[in-house]
A = this chain, B = another copy of it.
Amino acid sequence: MKPFSDRLVDAIRMKGNPCVVGLDPRIDLMPMFVRSGRGAPTREAVRSVISGFHELVLDTVAALVPAVKPQLAFFEQYGAAGILAFEDTVRAARQRGLLVIADAKRNDISSTAGAYAAAFLGETDVFGEPQKAFDADSMTVTPYLGRDSLQPFVDVCTEHKKGLFVVLKTSNPGSRDFQDLELRSTERPLYEKITETIREFGQPLRGESGYSSIGAVIGATFPEDARRLRCLLPEAFILVTGYGAQGARGREAAVCFNDDGLGAIVSSSRGITYSYSPDNLTKPSFVNCVRENTLRMIADVTGALR
């Protein structure tokens, strides 16, 4: 198997765009036909609603985009039922040839970080046999706990040819609170300091494409910051957030790309899967709506890159 970054480049070239569909299960926003006739909210009913909804979305977008990004928070809000649906969703996405970015924003220290890395990207010893838990292609992690907290994730990426996106400069207004704080030593923002660690970990994980499997999460809502980070991390893949519902468009996202038209992927969730009135929406109308939203995003992003 190729390293994650090369698989991502292949998938982007095959689909002709760098767009990622976010999967945020929110049953209350799903079309009525998905939810109706389910009876009591048992574990199996909840799992089957979420997994069924995602199968419809995946069938619709699999031919169009290179990757999907399930957001763990929205699965976890349904407890174990949600995590069973997360397993289903990752499996269904990979069966359809889509790369999976587990948006988990996990981290911890030493062997605990290792357990998270094993959960999402690696293997765990179970009764003496190595078992994969979630088996995503890549995941998001937070940097605050330091360089040694990222090491176990990088190790698992190296061994299993997986990828990492380190949360660097997020798309929310509050990203200014701590991420932007200027350091005494550099007179530059904290997030710029963290690029050094991403570069250092990323260097040995460069693929044949020239891109590394250690990337960064950057919000397109601060395009000037994103432009500078693009220069500081020329070999990193950037997972661009803030597109669509949060206000950024293709023009803002475009600053996260290199001149070769690569080096970034742009994610949209609600704007793709929930931009309709859920009542009385038929299955064909829903599929058509998801398809149209995806095509519109692809046209916007690829148009801005030309």
State the A residues within 8 Å of B (CB).
Answer: 24, 27-28, 35, 38, 40-41, 45-46, 71, 73-74, 76-80, 82-84, 86-87, 103, 105-110, 112-113, 115-116, 118-120, 124-127, 129, 131, 133-134, 142-149, 167, 170-179, 181-185, 187, 190, 193-194, 197
Contacts and interface: CB of A to CB of B under 8 A. Distances in A.
A127 B35 contact: yes
Given A76-B120, A77-B118, A146-B177, 6 more contacts: A27-B125, A74-B112, A145-B172, A146-B174, A149-B172, A182-B184
Nearest to A73: B115
Q: Which of A79, A103, A131, A184 has the most CB of B within 10 A?
A: A79
Contacts of A35: 127
B87 A79 contact: yes
A149 B109 CA distance: 22
Contacts of A76: 115-116, 119-120, 133-134
Nearest to A180: B146
Nearest to A35: B127
Contacts of A184: 181-184, 187
Given A41-B131, A194-B178, A170 B146 contact: yes
A178 B133 contact: no
A112 B71 CA distance: 8
